[in-house]
Amino acid sequence: MKIIVDAFGGDNAPLEVIRGAAEAIEAYDVDILLTGKEAIIRQTAAEHAVSLDRMEILDCDDVITMDDHPRSILKEHKNSSMAVGLQALAAGQGDAFVSAGSTGALLMGSTFLVKRISGVSRPAIAAVIPSTKGPVMLIDSGANADCRADMLLRFGQMGSLYMTDVMGGGKEATVGLLNVGTEETKGGPLQQEAYALLKQSNLQFVGNVEARDVPFGVADVIVADGFSGNVLLKTMEGTADMIVQNLKTMFYTSLKTKIGALLVKKELDAFKKSMSTAEYGGAPLLGVRKPVIKTHGNAKALAIKNAIRVAAEFAKAGVIDKIKATVQAEGAEEA
Amino acid sequence: MKIIVDAFGGDNAPLEVIRGAAEAIEAYDVDILLTGKEAIIRQTAAEHAVSLDRMEILDCDDVITMDDHPRSILKEHKNSSMAVGLQALAAGQGDAFVSAGSTGALLMGSTFLVKRISGVSRPAIAAVIPSTKGPVMLIDSGANADCRADMLLRFGQMGSLYMTDVMGGGKEATVGLLNVGTEETKGGPLQQEAYALLKQSNLQFVGNVEARDVPFGVADVIVADGFSGNVLLKTMEGTADMIVQNLKTMFYTSLKTKIGALLVKKELDAFKKSMSTAEYGGAPLLGVRKPVIKTHGNAKALAIKNAIRVAAEFAKAGVIDKIKATVQAEGAEEA
């Protein structure tokens, strides 16, 4: 298994990226193909004593940033570390691709360089979020601000295959539709049409779910348009951050509270870990022909390491072949 | 100041409602007009030794429930405690109305019984949510799943007037547009058009805001369509509930953690209080001709008491006259 990694994606590149890659090689027995400025990668590794064993480097001297237009990955920035990584993935030089760079550029590059699965009109970003019953997939979590109902059905199908095979150990995933109430008539035309399509499908559809119940694991896959999905994802992050910040303040109030904090330190650390998106490694981009994983822009070594693990699991599970088969079966039925 | 209160709205009616009303009379020197089944109100008050001093009762024998169609408040349930309360408000029998009943019915009833301010096409529910910088208004938080850009501008104007006068002590409120990124070009057509309108307005517009930053008080008023606003509101509630549940489990792990919990008890209680929506009392319904406050369906006495306080402040501040003046000035400008 060889994972291609964008060494210049995200706020902490390249040091944290190559650190995470080195840790992943140790932990998961994978090979790595880094993309980016080779001289800087080698210099950074040497300075920080990071081993480059089992890592190849595809040298390229450009980087696409958050400020660049996503479409520039196809032209002005076609020699960026992200573009070169996606081209290498398309050419079969590795089994999956991981980047912490611009989401828009990654989406654009994946769609046009790796290409969509035929029958999938729009790829989606499928964030994995914590819940009291374990990880939940939120699809779409930000790729498509405007969606049609048939896109939402496709998101449900792709998310279900991923969660069943990669994270559920084969147990069929349940699918819910994000809505403002549980009744069938809730929401706007988009939700009402999507509800009908999901109900007719052979997915394990549990109906509409309210955002309030998502953290309690009401379904394994939450289907949403990219706008409200993104709002859900970022509200969870922001609320958790605010609460953790308030708890810190609380524990530092006095000597008494500091002692209290010491007594619950182990449990508090475990709790913080359970809330941390770094543990999930990143979000698969579903609907393109090869496994692509987007990690957080502020990812550090741990998140990169976990993203590489998720990329390897994604590639191994054969989810993409199953998505292709599902879409083809539908096409055959309609014909 | 007389506040009309729906004694049969919500899951804990009538006991918690009349308890909250009695506490509000003590604390805020207001008079109360209850609507609902008089015999049951009197019996419940007697059984639980709740004083009905300074409370009048408008007897009516019907209740509208969550299962009833909102529109039924105008016909089949026009004698429900909610409908009778709204009629009393329209007739000037009180200064504001508070209900913990069905949001849809309250919206429908307010729109057609109390009536819209002319020039406001759709009233909005304006939830008040906690942030590290104090309360923030989220408008719309669930009344209108589908919105036009001009509606979003109006939400911003109404929210700004409310937050400036009722909660900001006259300091002009800042207004942000909920979006999936801060750049002007983010989101779909709705957000892009609304951005242009808000930018042209004379509001203190701070631009697009991401859901992640809302709990950190990035703006005093967050403008959103009712669908994504509702997702934000409920995600905050669900995430906070999940974390509090996890913290409880954490503190009960062992004798050591229980002692830890005791040492931070006071601070933990203060923290829980700061996160509790019951403290804010409820969400004003903005865009109708009289003050209407919606409290949570599971509101207990404390939330009802605070909702009555908020209703009194809303009525006293003269916000509705200012909304009328703003809309009229615009009409004059356009003419």
pLDDT tens per residue, range B178-235? 999 998 888 999 999 999 999 999 999 999 999 999 999 999 999 999 999 999 999 9
CATH code assigned at A57: 3.40.718.10
Q: How far is A1 from chain B (nearest CA, A)?
A: 35
What's the CA gap between A188 and A138, in Å, rounded? 20
> B224 with B316, same domain?
no
> CB neighbours (10 Å) of residue B279?
14
Do B278 and B306 belong to one domain? Answer: no
Number of domains in chain A: 1
**Can you tell me the distance from the alpha carbon of A17 to that of A21, in angstroms, rounded to the nearest whole number?**
6
Domain final residue, candidates B282, B302, B327: B282
Cα A266 → chain centroid = 28
Q: List the single residue in B with minimal CA-CA distance to A255.
A: B263
Residues B127, B248 within the same domain: yes
Query: Is A215's CB within 8 Å of B242's CB?
Result: yes
Q: Which of A178, A212, A274 sits opposite B237 (nearest CB)?
A: A212
**Mean pLDDT confidence for A61-88:** 95
Looking at the structure, do residues B6 and B149 belong to the same domain, yes or no? no
Q: Are residues B178 and B51 in the same domain?
A: no
Q: Which of these three, B254, B282, B310, is where a domain ends?
A: B282
- The per-residue pLDDT for B38 is 98
**Residue A176, domain member (yes or no):** no
Q: Residue A51: inside a domain, yes or no? A: yes
Note whether A264 contacts B260, CB cutoff 8 Å: yes
The fraction of chain B above a pLDDT of 90, given in percent, is 75
Chain B residues in contact with A145 by the CB 8 A cut-off are 180, 186-188, 191
Chain A residues with CB inside 8 Å of B226's CB?
A: 180
Residue in B312, B297, B248, B242 with CA at minimum distance from that of residue B96: B312
Q: Which residues of chain B are within 8 Å of residue A230 when distances are taken between CB atoms?
A: 180, 211
Q: A179 pLDDT band (50/70/90 cuts)?
A: very high
CA distance B17 to B20: 5
Query: What's chain A's length in residues?
Result: 335
One domain for residues B256 and B139: yes
- The verdict on a CB contact (< 8 Å) between B146 and A226 is no
User: For residues A161 and A327, is the Cβ–Cβ distance under 8 A?
Assistant: no
Token pair of A189 as six digits = 């035309």
Do B108 and B145 lie in a common domain? no
Please check whether residues B264 and B321 belong to one and the same domain. Answer: no
For residue A146, being part of any structural domain is answered with: no
Residue B181 lies in domain: 122-282
In this prediction the ipTM stands at: 0.90
Looking at residue A279, its pLDDT comes to 67
C-alpha distance from residue B124 to each of A298, B24, B145 (Å): 37, 26, 11
Q: Do A234 and B212 touch (CB under 8 A)?
A: yes
Instruction: Give the mean pLDDT of chain A.
Output: 93
Taking CB atoms and an 8 Å cutoff, what residues of chain A touch B228? Answer: 227-228, 231
Q: Do both B269 and B135 map to the same domain?
A: yes
Residues of B in contact with A210 (CB under 8 A): 234, 238
Task: Tell if the CB–CB gap between A242 and B215 is shorter than 8 Å.
Answer: yes
Respond yes or no on whether the N-terminal peptide bond of residue B14 is cis (omega within 30° of 0). yes
Specify the higher pLDDT residue, A168 or B316: B316
Measured between beta carbons, the chain B residues lying within 8 angstroms of A146 are: 188-189
Q: Is B68 left (phi over 0), alpha (psi -120 to 50) or beta?
A: beta
Residue A177, in any domain of the structure: no
Q: Do B241 and A210 touch (CB under 8 A)?
A: no
- How do strand A124-129 and strand A96-99 relate by DSSP bridges? unpaired
Specify whether B174 is located in the same domain as B221.
yes
Contact B231 A231 (CB under 8 A): yes
- Name chain A contacts of B268, Cβ cutoff 8 Å: 250
* Closest residue on chain A to B227 (Cα): A180
In a domain, A230, yes or no: no
- Shared-domain flag, residues B51 and B200: no
B143 and B81 in a common domain: no
Contact A247 B132 (CB under 8 A): no
C-alpha distances (whole Å) from B293 to each of A216, A288, B70, B116 are: 29, 48, 17, 15
